[in-house]
Amino acid sequence: MVGSYANGAGKNGAAEGKLDELRRRLGKAEGDPLRIAGVGAGAWGSVFCALLQDAYGRDHRDKAQVRVWRRPGRAVDRATAEHLFEVINAREAVLRRLIRRCAYLKYVEARLGDRTLYADEILRDGFCLNMIDTPLCPLKVVTNLQEAVWDADIVINGLPSTETREVFGEIGRYWKERINPPIIISLAKGIEASLDPMPRIITPTQMIANATGVPLENILYLGGPNIASEIYNKEYANARICGSEKWRKPLSKFLRQPHFIVWDNSDLITHEVMGGLKNIYAIGAGMVAALTNESATSKAVYFSLCTSEMIYITHLLAEEPERLSGPLLADTYVTLLKGRNAWYGHKLAKAELTLEMGDSIKGKGTIQGVSAVNAFYELLSQGSISVTHPETKKHVAPVELCPILKTLYKILIKRELGTSSILEAIRDESMSDPRERIEMAQRQSLYRPSLLGLPKGDIKL
């Protein structure tokens, strides 16, 4: 099947061996399948579940079951239905599969306008609404959230960070009677900022822990240089799963596939924060690319400046943050290069989208960098967490040392500036060498534990 991960381990038993090992760790009895539930069906959430379905759910149904929850009722518009029909007919294997499943006729009818298709319906056939051009394997789709998660052993959070708290709050009610907490792998990239009673960040893994009562050692974050469609089409990729040693090592082994290498790392905070930051700066990268006619020099200048801001910010949030290298750097690079946030910035600069259209875009989903701009700006503009300015030696809010973040806030949130202001920010003649910002972050004691502090009643890290 084109675009599908064949379970090459089916012949040599490697996949079954990995599955059996994880089942033993979870205490699964013979005849009781490992239940994996995806929550949210955006591009990466859908692809991630499809990878697991291809690797384990298809050839080992008695030992593993994969299902995906998405909200019902999202209609597919006529133009998308017509494009989907073209995609189907351009891929013989997909066409034959749909004919074999007696599912082809509805796509013909939708193309002609005689039928309305729905997002959950087409996902069952392997089509993600946010990624129509990349057919996936057929998936079991559940539109009832309780049915999807109540007995799941592993839950994949494929929701935007802006929806994570609400949905997992509902899930928490279904899990009140559970004896053994599930493992949760969060793919969400973004943060919330809370200013009362003290400025602090709340990451998606913290949101999930607070909402469900699942201990943080059971909640992990997976991130890396992953453009969803390319990974499903077997482009070689790597990622890191971050969290407690108890689960990150066995899960890295379980998730690893020939074209998708997963390493493990203990620094959950840095990776989650970087996951949110990269989306912010990717919007700016798209603007720079559009405004300079894809100038490689301008994009490189922007990359050096924005990564120095990212490093500076992580030193405020982690005592010894993971260096911006390896998959962490690669994730930043690919997001600035090709992700949906960069696409959004590019479209804004070209005036093909407007801010009034919001941050939920047809065919792309939620542009998470917009809310992240607001969250990080609010957090880092608080005088109570002031730092020493390297030149004036005065106490200033940390955001004063992040000119790109400030500019993006004025463009996207306050709407005081046009997109061209991003070029002014990176061409400022008074701009310091980005190396100085990095050295200052490493030299000064910037770490502010209070930024990770949780108010009474929240679950501590």
Catalytic (active-site) positions: 278
Peptide bond into 197 cis (omega under 30): yes
Report how far residue 90's alpha carbon sits from residue 12's, in angstroms, rounded to the nearest whole number. 33
Q: What angle do CA 133, 138, 142 make, to 5 degrees?
A: 110
DSSP letters spanning 285-331: HHHHHHHTTS-HHHHHHHHHHHHHHHHHHHHHH-SSPPPS-HHHHHH
Report how far residue 266's alpha carbon sits from residue 363's, in angstroms, rounded to the nearest whole number. 34
> Strand, coil or helix: what is 128?
coil
Contact between 422 and 405 (Cβ < 8 Å): no
Structure tokens at 194: 């809370």
Residue carrying the six token digits 């599912």: 103
Report how far residue 172's alpha carbon sits from residue 188's, in angstroms, rounded to the nearest whole number. 18
Output the 3-class SS for 262-289. Answer: EEEECCHHHHHHHHHHHHHHHHHHHHHH
Going by C-beta distance under 8 Å and a sequence separation of 6 or more, which residues neighbour residue 147? none
Contact between 303 and 355 (Cβ < 8 Å): no
Report how far residue 270's alpha carbon sits from residue 322's, in angstroms, rounded to the nearest whole number. 6
Angstrom CA distances, 297 to 256, 278, 302, 419, 422, stand at: 36, 20, 9, 19, 15
Going by C-beta distance under 8 Å and a sequence separation of 6 or more, which residues neighbour residue 444? 387, 388
Report how far residue 23's alpha carbon sits from residue 33's, in angstroms, rounded to the nearest whole number. 8
Q: What angle do CA 49, 106, 120 make, to 5 degrees?
A: 30
Contact between 376 and 276 (Cβ < 8 Å): yes
Amino acid at 120: D
